[in-house]
Amino acid sequence: MTSAIGKDNSAFVLNGAHLLALADGSLYWPDRNTLVVADLHLEKGSAFASRGQMLPPYDSRATLAALTTTLTRLRPDRVICLGDSFHDAQASDRLPPQDRAVLGKLVADADWIWIAGNHDPAPPADLGGRVHAHWVDGPLVFRHEAEHGSIAGEISGHFHPKASVQTRARRLSARCFIEDGKRLILPAYGSYTGGLSVWHPAISGLFPKGFSVHLASGRSVVRVPGARLLRAA
């Protein structure tokens, strides 16, 4: 629903498709009324707690609340989750009933596509939606992890990219979208996901001819050419 889009976005073109990077870390494709998110990592906090690393157990609730806000605003026909939606194979069983009910309603309200990830190669079938190794729609192909080589229109997640830039007032560091007009990697959407610098060879090596990032701070999105980024993110 394009009319619901505010100023918290950055527009760009990927392989001919007009896309919007949103401030919450999601991607919107107006022509298909499709929302895309990557790496929710639901129940990562409880996974760490089971190993003695105590984190506040509210990461899934915070992630689902943010996603609910965006879905309520845009009302997309389709939602694509680019893998690692669940932190491990037992994550859906650990979801508190309230959070599980919220997720179930979100899935039921849209054409929901789960892309299999390395953390969740088999997303739980009882939550609904469809599971695919990858998904192709017109000029775009959606998968969890970018493939090596030139893949026109590829959209993926997995790496949790982040970047830093020095402004006149301060240093700005944030998770980011990274793209070169042909390939796009989304930031991690989940609350406890951390990030990997776009200058890490695993990411920068996928963009040998240069790239731009769209820094997503939660309230705004800023497009920055790769050449302007600080090397230490």
Query: What residues of the chain score a pLDDT lower than 70?
Result: 1-7, 44-57, 87-92, 232-233
Residue pLDDT, tens place only, 54-111: 566 678 899 999 999 999 999 999 999 999 988 666 666 788 889 999 999 999 999 9
pLDDT (0 to 100) of residue 3: 47
Measured between alpha carbons, how far is 44 from 210 in angstroms, rounded to an integer? Answer: 33
pLDDT (0 to 100) of residue 89: 64
∠ CA 111-148-232, nearest 5°, is 95
**CATH architecture classification, 8-228:** 4-Layer Sandwich (3.60)
Look up residue 141 and give its DSSP letter: E
Domain residues of the chain, as ranges?
8-228
Helices (H) and strands (E) in the chain, counts: 5, 16
Q: Report the 10 Å Cβ neighbour count for 97.
A: 7
